Structure 1
């Protein structure tokens, strides 16, 4: 039994009207966390379920809710430095509206290219009573990007984490996208969330389970909190841009995702979590499959349901863990398992179907006793072919599909987990320092991975089906065109208005990719006026 696609799509489309719950997340704006908010989450004496982003708050969690304060007396001073552009405050409801500029200009020095971004966005949100709130934002953009970002974007015709692009001038791109949420928290036990947005599971900078690296998508989510447990159930609709369109009216093919995540605070220091996901195709050459009611199962363990249905759907399971070793020092980790063969898992012979990834990292706050000086270190390792799927097969025959799978762990041509796909090792460090309204952020990343030569599949590009793998055995991280990436980025900003993160910002980025096929080296300087609660990743 299947839910008609048009009715379900219409239901989810309504959320683009933009609703969001202030009682649901720290920042009020999705997966973005400021350093101060992260510090509150991880150093507070209250034991919190930190792997959820947007973070689900109970009504009593006032510590993490933004406070209204004004230090300027004039209207212009308040609007520039303290308040929303327009706001209506009433005992029964609050409404705010902000203009979100992102005006940047810079230079890709090694490639002699002037870079710029011209973004005009708006944000509308508010709350009604204590339990219901709303949020929406829309961005219209044009820009010229560094060569490595431009090449990646034109390869998939999508700017990472944002939208489909069109040509603009000689080297420019034109694109737009929107986000929105409806959230209702009737009690401290439940939160109901409908949105067209992103979600993130984990304590790290990256997530190997579900990240915010891809474009927004429509979803329905229920979060339940009881005792020391928090349980999330989510159903989402994804876009498969690699398959041929069904027809002009239906546009790109769709696929569905069902997600479960259970987080258990065992003690004040230790937390563990269980994650599972199923991705299934919406349509094949024989017609539409639609929403599979079997995956409305609200309990953990999809795999038995999938097996009972004789289903070819793609499963991903995972574990998370967190250990608060010191009041201001926390270890965290993840393990993602896409597929494995028990007899081959510990053999060390590089069997292709042992597809897994692991993460370990830490967060440290007020290091060296310096207030608001924070450091985060993280390592991510993902084996070749992880997150990939096979070419669809119907009645024993491969479905013509441009040689691409449809139920891989991908949305809108972008990975749903780590932006790098698979077949890599990554080590990164991030330092943040805040003094009054000055904010400094530095990041250094070293990556080791194997790129795919023309016409071959060594397991990094998860858009490719694993049917086209080079070999069954001898698959190790770095196979293919062995590459080393050195990435450094520093940004210095003065925050004009924390209400909508309006800031003057200047930055310096260094990127050096070394390999024997197509090495690249670039240095980028930029300056601009920005207002953003978005996590946009260009460190690839």
Structure 2
């Protein structure tokens, strides 16, 4: 009977009248900075692009690029908008993408794709993926490197069915501070299964992909294996791109001034190397967010998520209801699950400034909050930030400032099946919790093909203390159960092994042809911990060649 019901539902959806949909722009922080820049300047004319949910649809980005191109006043803006139009050529008629010298009449017939095919019923884009990076770190011996080779394929059928896949084979030797994280958590940041490679190196496969189908003019369904990011900030306190890709089912409903997103994910509750082939334990997350364009320049979102597991990997069917209040269901089934809720906002001011923020409530008891006594279950996180475009009247100088505060024990739960992590990696902030952070970013594009980016990330956080016999849980690691907390009251941000960390990054990126980049990067990290044995001061320099792949950032 259940199978018959699913078959009926599928037949209903597939038979529903559908119109054009779009594939998504792969999440690349550099490219998304350009999109956000023009959304601040001209986004009132593209109300369908609600920027708190990443990735963005190619159709929305193409619409924004068309408006931005008509208003471009500098050579840099003309270059950037031309890039966005050409990169989304199959969703616009305003691209300038014809190649003057195709290779063997089949390859690079346009400027953007190694191979492409286009007809009224079918589009296909095939591109190579390469990332070769070499660097030196003053804390390790030998060359640090990244060696990635792969392919990216995407396309659409009948204007309603989209597909995307990315697969890359990687070998890497990381700087010392990244290797410290790998040894601590037993995983390579942002990645899933890995193997040792030669001396202090790592070998792993990166794979992402999805299918997208337009159920109607305003509703689409997506099934795949990928990351997601929610929020307008540099960090997300709700769902970030730190953890590796995961299997998901996603519904997007866009109508009137509303964008309603439902996301269901299958996660890995814990990972340990060794022990031979075995099925890793599963858990699940259900998340929904309703975004409302209150005015042309103000967007407010409310969201809720719940993490849960059942015996033998079963999904709790009640969470499939796309418009239910998850907290009510979580209580009705016995309050064993980890439910959270919150809100976000974005306010564009005079097409030059953007204010944004997030509030995440893991637990909230008003009496305890008002008492200000450091109750352990006052588990909340907050973010406030601003973006300033063409700062001080200087074209293509963009600034961003952000503050993140996360109280101790936020995101922790009873065990690995309900805590807020996937594959031993946090689903929100990469450090976890028990922190206060200040981020400052400067983007400057003096000439069309050159981007200069400077970042300063100052974080005060409390590390959990490891002794010979135990780990003292001060509320920093998402992996620890809150039942092992050190105290019920008197908890404050930075408790435990109080650590002050400064991460500085200066990067010069030159794009010498479409999606082909050269990066020159310098990283300086200074860490001052009360337990000095955990200090790690690092200076790292690297040079990279990238083709159709974003930078690999390890900012934790």
TM-score, with structure 1 as normaliser: 0.87
- The CA distance in 1 between the partners of 2:146 and 2:277, in whole Å, is 32
The gaps in structure 2 that reach 5 residues or longer are: 11-19, 66-84, 90-94
Q: Report the equivalent of 1:475.
A: 491
- Partner residue of 2:454 out of 437, 442, 452: 442
State whether residues 282 and 290 of structure 1, in contact with CA within 8 Å, keep that contact through their aligned partners in structure 2.
yes
- The CA distance in 2 between the partners of 1:177 and 1:107, in whole Å, is 24
1:121 shift after superposition: 1.5
- Partner residue of 1:208 out of 237, 242, 257: 237
| Larger fraction in strand | 1
Moved more, 331-340 or 361-370: 361-370
1:156 shift after superposition: 2.1
Matched, 1:416 2:427: yes
1:199 shift after superposition: 0.8
Q: Report the equivalent of 1:171.
A: 200
- SS of equivalent residue, structure 2 residue 143: strand
- Partner residue of 1:291 out of 305, 315, 332: 315
State whether residues 243 and 406 of structure 1, in contact with CA within 8 Å, keep that contact through their aligned partners in structure 2.
no
Matched, 1:340 2:340: no
- The CA distance in 1 between the partners of 2:237 and 2:2, in whole Å, is 30
- The CA distance in 1 between the partners of 2:464 and 2:343, in whole Å, is 29
Aligned pair count?
504
- The CA distance in 2 between the partners of 1:30 and 1:490, in whole Å, is 17
TM-score, with structure 2 as normaliser: 0.85
Matched, 1:321 2:345: yes
1:367 shift after superposition: 1.7
State whether residues 260 and 300 of structure 1, in contact with CA within 8 Å, keep that contact through their aligned partners in structure 2.
no
- SS of equivalent residue, structure 2 residue 362: strand
- The CA distance in 2 between the partners of 1:340 and 1:186, in whole Å, is 38
- SS of equivalent residue, structure 2 residue 371: coil
Q: Report the equivalent of 2:68.
A: none
Moved more, 376-385 or 83-92: 83-92
Q: Report the equivalent of 2:438.
A: 427
State whether residues 133 and 545 of structure 2, in contact with CA within 8 Å, keep that contact through their aligned partners in structure 1.
yes
Q: Which structure 2 residues correspond to residues 364-443 of structure 1 after superposition, within 5 A?
A: 364-391=388-415, 405-434=416-445, 435-443=447-455
Matched, 1:306 2:305: no
Q: Which structure 2 residues correspond to residues 60-459 of structure 1 after superposition, within 5 A?
A: 62-64=63-65, 66-67=88-89, 68-70=95-97, 73-75=100-102, 79=108, 82-242=111-271, 251-283=279-311, 288=312, 290-391=314-415, 405-434=416-445, 435-454=447-466, 455-459=471-475
Matched, 1:529 2:541: no
1:223 shift after superposition: 0.8
- SS of equivalent residue, structure 1 residue 520: coil
Please list the CA deviations of residues 235-285 of structure 1 after superposition, one character each: whole Å capped at 9, or x if unmatched.
11000125899x9775110001111100011112322111101111143xx
Q: For the aligned residues, what is the CA RMSD?
A: 2.7
1:515 shift after superposition: 1.1
State whether residues 109 and 115 of structure 2, in contact with CA within 8 Å, keep that contact through their aligned partners in structure 1.
no
Q: 1:111 to 1:57 in 2, by over 3 A?
A: closer
Matched, 1:466 2:482: yes
1:35 shift after superposition: 2.5
Q: 1:158 to 1:249 in 2, by over 3 A?
A: closer
1:86 shift after superposition: 1.5
- SS of equivalent residue, structure 2 residue 342: strand
State whether residues 161 and 537 of structure 1, in contact with CA within 8 Å, keep that contact through their aligned partners in structure 2.
no
Q: 1:60 to 1:361 in 2, by over 3 A?
A: closer
- The CA distance in 2 between the partners of 1:282 and 1:183, in whole Å, is 28
| Larger fraction in helix | 2
- The CA distance in 1 between the partners of 2:521 and 2:222, in whole Å, is 36
1:496 shift after superposition: 2.9
Q: Report the equivalent of 1:399.
A: none
Q: Report the equivalent of 1:51.
A: 52
Please list the CA deviations of residues 141-166 of structure 1 after superposition, one character each: whole Å capped at 9, or x if unmatched.
11110011012113222211122322
- The CA distance in 2 between the partners of 1:235 and 1:34, in whole Å, is 24
- The CA distance in 2 between the partners of 1:30 and 1:22, in whole Å, is 21
- The CA distance in 1 between the partners of 2:405 and 2:384, in whole Å, is 9
State whether residues 502 and 532 of structure 1, in contact with CA within 8 Å, keep that contact through their aligned partners in structure 2.
yes
The gaps in structure 1 that reach 5 residues or longer are: 12-20, 392-404
Higher RCO structure, 1 or 2 (CA under 8 Å, sep 6+): 1
Please list the CA deviations of residues 320-371 of structure 1 after superposition, one character each: whole Å capped at 9, or x if unmatched.
0111122121100000010122321121110000000000011122223333
- The CA distance in 2 between the partners of 1:248 and 1:341, in whole Å, is 45
1:289 shift after superposition: 5.3
Moved more, 327-336 or 28-37: 28-37
- The CA distance in 2 between the partners of 1:348 and 1:221, in whole Å, is 39
- SS of equivalent residue, structure 1 residue 419: coil
- The CA distance in 1 between the partners of 2:276 and 2:326, in whole Å, is 34
Matched, 1:503 2:486: no
Moved more, 58-67 or 118-127: 58-67
State whether residues 339 and 354 of structure 1, in contact with CA within 8 Å, keep that contact through their aligned partners in structure 2.
yes
- The CA distance in 2 between the partners of 1:129 and 1:365, in whole Å, is 39
